[in-house]
């Protein structure tokens, strides 16, 4: 029995094929949003771990060498006279060119970024479970402010201490903070572009 091409098209479901030169739409995998959400959660946890490591475990030190130790709360330079590290405090640091206000702002930036990032997972989960776009935008706001604070605090600190530092002297603390900054930018972009909208006909807790 012979069937024409038009008859074959009519026998097929519209979801299987569109006839007469129209391109067939490729549906997205059903689990793509879930996988993207898991990736966002993983990135968030990674950023939190990096910030905790650099600011708490390493004490905020960006370099920790036998002859130099510089961080947000320690400023120790090698003293040739005594042949040992000498740690400086204010007002000595002001004589060395380190601003009291500038250092305070640098501390506020990096540790404020840590605090804001710690607040991200809970509203992130609530936004996903409730399919609430407003809660999702709150997460985006937290990440945007945290990203700006970390970049500003780290940049301000390096601006005041670069005369004693170089790339070869920077230690694991700096590497963790710079990696956290890069991942925060990636996380902010992924979260801002995530299609978080309530789906009609579904329960709010269906995602959880």
DSSP of 29-49:
PTTHHHHHHHHHHHHHHHHHH
Q: Token match 């996988």: residue?
A: 35
| Distance from C-alpha of 206 to C-alpha of 208, rounded to nearest angstrom | 6
| Distance from C-alpha of 51 to C-alpha of 150, rounded to nearest angstrom | 10
Quote the pLDDT of residue 157: 93
pLDDT in tens, the chain (208 residues): 444 545 444 445 444 444 444 444 444 456 777 888 899 999 999 999 999 999 999 999 999 888 889 999 999 888 887 778 888 888 888 888 888 999 999 999 999 999 999 999 999 998 888 888 888 899 999 999 999 999 999 999 999 888 888 888 889 999 999 999 999 999 999 999 876 543 433 444 455 6
Quote the pLDDT of residue 26: 44
Burial label for 29, CB within 10 Å (0-12, 13-18, 19+), is exposed
How many C-beta atoms surround the C-beta of residue 137 within 10 A? Answer: 15
Quote the pLDDT of residue 97: 85
Instruction: Please answer whether residues 77 and 85 qualify as being in contact, where contact means their C-beta atoms are separated by less than 8 angstroms.
Output: yes
Quote the pLDDT of residue 148: 97
């Amino acid at each position: 029995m012979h069937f024409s091409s038009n008859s074959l098209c009519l026998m097929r479901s519209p979801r299987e094929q569109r006839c007469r030169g129209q391109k067939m739409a490729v549906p997205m995998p059903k689990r793509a949003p879930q996988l993207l959400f898991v990736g966002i959660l993983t990135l968030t946890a990674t950023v939190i771990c990096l910030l905790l490591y650099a600011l708490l475990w390493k004490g905020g030190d960006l370099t920790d060498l036998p002859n130099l130790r510089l961080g947000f709360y320690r400023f120790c330079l090698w003293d040739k006279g005594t042949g040992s590290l000498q740690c400086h405090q204010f007002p000595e640091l002001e004589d060395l060119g380190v601003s009291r206000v500038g250092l305070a702002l640098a501390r506020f930036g990096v540790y404020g970024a840590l605090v804001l990032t710690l607040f991200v997972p809970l509203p992130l989960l609530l936004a996903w479970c409730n399919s609430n776009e407003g809660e999702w935008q709150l997460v985006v706001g937290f990440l945007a402010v945290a990203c700006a604070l970390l970049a500003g605090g780290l940049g301000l600190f390096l601006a005041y201490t670069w005369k004693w530092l170089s790339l070869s002297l920077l230690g694991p603390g700096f590497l963790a903070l710079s990696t956290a900054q890069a991942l925060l930018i990636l996380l902010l972009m992924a979260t801002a572009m995530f299609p978080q909208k309530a789906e009609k006909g579904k329960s709010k807790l269906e995602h959880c």
